[in-house]
Amino acid sequence: MDYDALFAGPLDALKAEGNHRVFADLERHRGAFPAATRRVGDRAGEVTVWCSNDYLGMGQHPDVLGAMHDALDRYGAGAGGTRNISGTTHAHVELEAELAALHGKEAALVMTSGYVANWAALGTLAARLPGCVVLSDALNHASMIEGMRHSRAAKVIWRHNDVADLRAHLEALPRDVPKIVAFESVYSMDGDIAPIAEILDLCEEFGALSYLDEVHAVGMYGPTGAGVAERDGVAHRVDVIQGTLGKAFGVVGGYVAGSARMVDFVSSFASGFIFTTALPPAIAAGAVASIRHLRASEAERAGQRAAVAAVRAALDAAGIPHIENPSHIVPVMVGDPHHCRWIADRLLDDWGVYIQPIVYPTVPKGTERLRITPSPVHGPAEIARLATALGALWEECELARRPMAAQ
């Protein structure tokens, strides 16, 4: 059996559709990010990164790096085991206490990524609550969908951010059936924000457990960076808050926060937590430093908001259509995978501007885009170059000007 030939067919189809993914070989420059070196074979060139999820530049913050260096010297490289078998260091204990305090919850549980946290926690809750029905926003992240699928619980999909549709589905369910309403605060592709308070009103009215994914919001919103729920003054009403350490906090890992009993339940039954080696303690220590800094400092969030406003103004001046939304995510719609890839390649090769094209299956076919994430470390010169480059390429790509790009 020629297995490589079997692999080739689907890969060739992806390439023909323009949906094949190519990874950029980058070396971030500590202290100078978003500057990076891009390597292609033996050649190297300087680029500006415009699509990083390190939204606030905390991956290079001195407090974070200092904490990680210190922990590496004290603890060594790895955790040495699962959390149950020798892998819980004091750095992990400190991190979970810090996360619980951040969200005003009794406890938190750290896992190896935001994806794993959703898959393990949501999957376990849905599977172990007898007869549970999960009501899922139509645009929930793949990690939440996988958790629900893994649980084998009944699932109801409600229209994206449509509170009336959610109510209708809740009304159709028996009152005594355990229910989980799973949704996100900031949706990463369009950058829209959920009506959290209205959704929580329904959860409380119908006795549903609220499960809120704040991965694109933690560090970014609220007076201490606890997310949109904190900004809106409703975090205390959310039963389970899920977040990540790999975006605004600048390191890696995921977590859930909520009641002590819920956290104990997940840690006791979630295979994705139980059988996985714990995060390296240096990572945990860096996350603690990042969270503590952002709980006390508004400077990074203010700088990021200013950068977003400046980018949007520059795109408007250049005539580049982009989705208007209330978040930090700036999606420039292209609507065709080949043109999306072509524009991204030209930006990178000719202008030193790196924006990864977002194509199917991350987004539906026909909604391909360039997803720009301005940060406080993007300055006026980088913003001007971005707008100039996009403006020049827009002149060369008629398809990218079609009306759907302005939706």
Residue with tokens 């919103």: 221
Any idea of the CA torsion for 382, 347, 323, 223, to the nearest 10 degrees? -40
Q: What is the DSSP letter of 405?
A: G
Coil/strand/helix, residue 51 = coil
Cβ(45)–Cβ(31) below 8 Å = no
- How crowded is residue 236: how many other Cβ atoms within 10 Å of its Cβ? 11
The first and second tokens of residue 205, run together, are: 């009215």
Cα separation, 59 vs 387, whole angstroms: 25
- CA neighbor of 241 nearest in space, from 103, 390, 386: 103
The first and second tokens of residue 26, run together, are: 């980058």
- List beta partners, residue 26: 38
Of 105, 155, 247, 365, which residue is the catalytic one? 247
First to last CA, the chain: 48
The first and second tokens of residue 219, run together, are: 């560090």
Q: Is residue 247 annotated as a catalytic residue, yes or no?
A: yes
Cα separation, 99 vs 110, whole angstroms: 9
- CA neighbor of 325 nearest in space, from 344, 302, 308: 308
Q: Which residues does the annotation mark as catalytic?
A: 247
